[in-house]
Structure 1
Amino acid sequence: MFGTKSAVLVIASIAVAVRLIAINQPFIDRWSWRQSDVAAIARNYSENGFHFARPQIDWAGNAAGYVGTEFPILPFVAALLYKCFGVHEWIGRIQGVIFFTAALPFFFLLVRGLFGVTIGIWATFFYSFAPLSVVASRAFMPDMPSLSLAIVGLYFYLRWLQRGRASALLTAGLCTSIAVLIKLPTAVIGAPLLYLTWQRFGWRLWRQPEVWIFAAFALVPPAIWYWHAQEMAARYYPFHFFGGGGVRVMDLAWYWKIVRQTVGSSLTPVLCLAAAAGAFLTPRGKYARVFQWWCAAMVLFIVVVGWGNRHQWYQLPLVPIAAVFGGIACRFATRRLAGYQRAPLVFSSVVVLLFGGWSLASVRPFYESSAAGLRDLGLELKKITPRDALIIAADDGDPTVFYYAERKGWHFLGDGVY
């Protein structure tokens, strides 16, 4: 048991250290526009009053700029911290690292409980160092916090099914509710939850009051919030709802691009090959197909929300799924090689080195500056314009210039000012 704890602790320690590299990097990387919007909401809370239910962006000109967003607890907490430490990028970025770190033990325990220690360690390793996991967990965005809460919720829901403790059900409902509140697509976690419930109760699930209580606890608060967010988007200029318009089925070339992106930079070919094999090698067990259900739901989500999945972070839940399948494949391989001296160790070392090297190569481009010019422009505008000046920026919709200028204004796009 000491060896298992040590392995998980080493993986977690290195994973956290990797994510702290350049933690105070300006929001000028590939995902600059999404992070700049979240950061602007945080600063507007700090400067304009902590009106939680009215998040504001910077690109609505002289209007208030209220928008419909996910439950804005992350920028709200950042705004509170700004009052103590000042405005710094690390305050926003560190939130994802904290959520990832807090959920990692629960991910290991979930996988270990279903498939054993070896698969649990392999899955934790793959989940910790997959490129998309590294990048998303150091971004000032709700995706990794939401996924982390969903994983914790899944773990405690399974605990409730196995042991019947009300505290586990309450924790599962709370985590799932917050996960969906801060990122609506995380509702896809309902597929594996439904599978677990079916495996436990069958058709009797409809007669289980605890299941209905959990569903109400998990879904009613998000329903109330997103109704409010839609009302905000409909009432106030620029009439924007974050993530709106993403439900659109695209052509095959579009989905092939997502596949190539997932294999090439989100997961790495090493993990994808292992996951493809592991998906068909899943050990038998009452709840063993839970990740197949999650995977099927994610594939359906990517197809139906084709346009929305132009953003790579929407595929983030594929990382824990692939990590588990990859772990299953690696355990299968090491068991087959057990009869050969040192073969399992050699195999494991090769996988670790190949995956680690490929992941490093895939992560590096995400750190490169793609919006440095917009930041430089914003900082210059901050110097030369009055505090109440309005600006028009030809920025392809990236609000980075507004954030670093600390000015309001409009985007100047190809089809007009917005």
Structure 2
Amino acid sequence: MDWKKFLNYRDIRFWLILLALVRLYAITLPPLEHQHPWRQTDGLMIARNFVEVDANIMYPRVDIAGEKTGITGSEFPLLNYLIYLVSAVFGYEHWYGRLIVLIVSTLGSFFFYKAIRIHFNETVAFNATLLLTCSFWFSYSRKIFPDCFSAGLCLMALYFVLSYLEGGKPYKLILYLLFASLGCLTKISSTLLLSVLIVPIGFMAYSNIRKIWVIAASVVVLAFTTGWYFVWVPHLNATYGYGDHFTSGCPLFSMGWEEIKANYKGVLRSMYIIPMKYTGLVALLCSLIYVLWKRRWIVFSLFIIPYVCFLVIILKTGKSIMIDQYYVLCVIPCIAFIAGYALSEIRNRWIMYLFLLAVIGENLGDQIYDFRAHKMNAPFANLESIVDTYSKRDDLFVINSAPHCPTVMYFAHRRGWTVMPDKLRDAAFMSDVKAKGCKFVLVCKEMFRENFDVVLDLPMLYESDAFRIYALSDGATVATGDHQSK
């Protein structure tokens, strides 16, 4: 390796490694930062259950399915299974997921650079890759999410398939099939990244035989993805009786459109400000104007095809993008590409670097706060040791952390139900869960910056500024110890 070149600030590898090292800061902290701890703990539940219950990758299971087994439909749990494999060697730790996502997303950024270099110059690839890495990706590529992980795999696949079309080496087609299958299975929305293949397959002068092989491999990828999401996931939901974990958005596009119209300001902000902030939006608009003015139709096509696919996804998910802002992660590569291309057309390199620095500076400055546990979530970190004082690992709990929010249940390291606070006042519901074996009630006093506190007429075992624990079952007894109620 030419180390002098490698350490050159013009070498993209220098920047990718530097930015990865920055993101190693506080990498071992629990997933309790401000943005989306629920989504991270949702995946970690599945990984931990691979470690503790059953390591069959075809049967992911969660801890918030009440008395049921917890087996349910989900995204293909590749990331979760990699956490399990590392845990099998070193013992379970949640931060393994952060490190895996960071490594794969960084490699994805590098292959994004290499893919662009096949058809464009180094400046385009350099600009686009820096914009991608410093965009909304910067903080989310160290979160335990499948989104950047999946997109990274698909960007690797994109490089290998373009390289195959160029050189015809069969092993690169096999690598495309492998990485594209794993990427699309892990997150179905990442398929939009591969939609750009319409351009080289339909409009570039490659060997027809190679095009046919790429189409055939893509059909296999589509078959795997369709089989998992539209055959296996419904089967798991129907067989094991818990279908609330994985949803596909609004049942009808018209419903999604109505939600978007009613919440258009929040939706537009999530779609256009969140990805690369205000300077990034200006860069995108200027880039589109420039590319259309210059009639660079190939460049425009490489942006607009995946972006239209993204708009279809948003139409299906409706207003969810306002809360689940990570939906935009899969479309950022095409935004970064067209912005990187337009910046490369600026003749004065100092002006180009100034614009690049402005976008990067705003993005990094807006995300650095996410590298710490949020004070509202901090009490969850020690919850397991508190709960262990009063209950056994297999005891069922009902927690008022809101439906489908597993964070509290994950850190309690228990199974059971997660509900809205009012449910705890519903005598019929409480009687039902008690009959199903629930022994304890854990009341969170605050969730999502809202007052969730509920005072129940039950024996109280523990109270702190953040929680109360009540005994629901007659078999639950007040324990003695350091965490006794005050």
Q: CA RMSD in A?
A: 2.8
Alignment correspondent of 1:406 = 413
Structure 1 match to 2:278? 269
Shift, 1:93, TM fit? 0.8
**Contact map agreement 1:378 1:401 (CA 8 A) in 2:** no
Structure 1: how far apart are the matches of 2:205 and 2:321?
Answer: 34
Deviates more, 1:309-318 or 1:296-305: 296-305
Aligned to 1:325: 338
Secondary structure in 1 matching 2:332: helix
Pairing partner for 1:128 from 129, 133, 136: 133
Structure 1 contact 71–225 (Cα < 8 Å) conserved: yes
CA contact (8 A) 2:260 2:267 kept: no
Q: Tell me whether 1:99 sits opposite 2:114 in the alignment.
A: no
Q: Which amino acid aligns with 1:393?
A: I
Q: Distance in 1 between matches of 2:49 and 2:112?
A: 35
The percent identity for this pair of structures is 25
Letter in structure 2 aligned against 1:254: N
Are 1:372 and 2:378 matched, yes or no?
yes
Task: Report the Cα offset of residue 378 of structure 1.
Answer: 4.7
1:242 alignment partner in structure 2: 246
Cα deviation, residue 103, structure 1: 1.8
Deviation at 1:307, TM superposition (A): 4.0
**Alignment partner of 1:257: what SS?**
helix
- What SS is found at the alignment partner of 2:419? strand
The counterpart of 2:188, out of the listed 184, 196, 199, is 184
1:297 aligns with 309
How many Å separate the matches in 1 of 2:185 and 2:154?
11
Q: Is the 8 A contact 1:111 1:119 kept in 2?
A: yes
Report the Cα offset of residue 215 of structure 1.
2.4
Helix, strand or coil for the counterpart of 2:318? Answer: coil
5+ unaligned residues in a row in structure 1: which ranges?
A: 339-343
Give the deviation of 1:42 after TM superposition: 0.8
Judge conservation of contact 1:11–1:124 (CA < 8 Å) in 2. no
SS of residue in 1 equivalent to 2:345: helix
1:341 — aligned with what?
none
1:255 CA drift (Å) = 3.7
Q: Cα deviation per residue 1:233-272 (whole Å; 9 max; x = unaligned)?
A: 1222322342433453323243431322344443111122
- Paired residues of 1:146 and 1:182 also in contact (CA < 8 A): yes
Cα separation, 2, equivalents of 1:145 and 1:18: 18
Distance 1:223 1:353, change over 3 A: closer
1:154 matched to 2:158? The reply is yes
TM-score, with length taken from structure 1 = 0.88
User: Matches of 1:259 and 1:365 in 2, distance apart?
Assistant: 23
How many angstroms apart in 1 are the aligned matches of 2:218 and 2:342?
A: 34
Tell me the alpha carbon deviations over residues 264-302 of structure 1, each in whole angstroms, 9 at most, x when there is no partner. 443111122112222343477785332222222222322
1:217 aligned partner: 220
Q: Which residue of 2 aligns with 1:315?
A: 328
Distance 1:27 1:219, change over 3 A: same
Once the two structures are TM-superposed, the CA of residue 400 in structure 1 deviates from its matched residue by 1.2
Q: How much has 1:96 moved relative to structure 2?
A: 0.8
Query: May I ask how many residue pairs the two structures share in their alignment?
Result: 407
2:467 matched residue in structure 1: none
Q: 1:415 to 1:258 in 2, by over 3 A?
A: same
Q: What's the offset of the Cα at 1:372?
A: 2.9
Q: For the structure 1 residues 115 and 275, does the alpha-carbon distance in structure 2 shift closer, same or farther, using more than 3 Å as the test?
A: farther
1:233 alignment partner in structure 2: 237
Structure 1 CA distance for aligned equivalents of residues 210 and 32 of structure 2: 52
Residue in structure 2 matched with residue 110 of structure 1 by the alignment: 115
- TM-superposed CA distance for 1:376, in Å, is 4.6
The equivalent of 2:69 in structure 1 is 64
Secondary structure (helix, strand or coil) at the match of 1:24 reads coil
Post-superposition offset of 1:65: 0.5
Quote the residue 1:200 is aligned against: 204
Which residue type is aligned with residue 316 of structure 2? V
Contact 1:246/1:309 (<8 A) preserved: no
Q: 3-state SS of the aligned residue for 2:263?
A: helix
Cα separation, 2, equivalents of 1:364 and 1:246: 33
Kindly indicate whether residue 389 of structure 2 is the aligned counterpart of residue 383 of structure 1: yes
Contact 1:272–1:322 (Cα < 8 Å) also in 2: no
Q: Deviations over 1:167-193 (max 9, x none)?
A: 322222222111111011122234312
Provide TM-score, normalisation by structure 2.
0.77
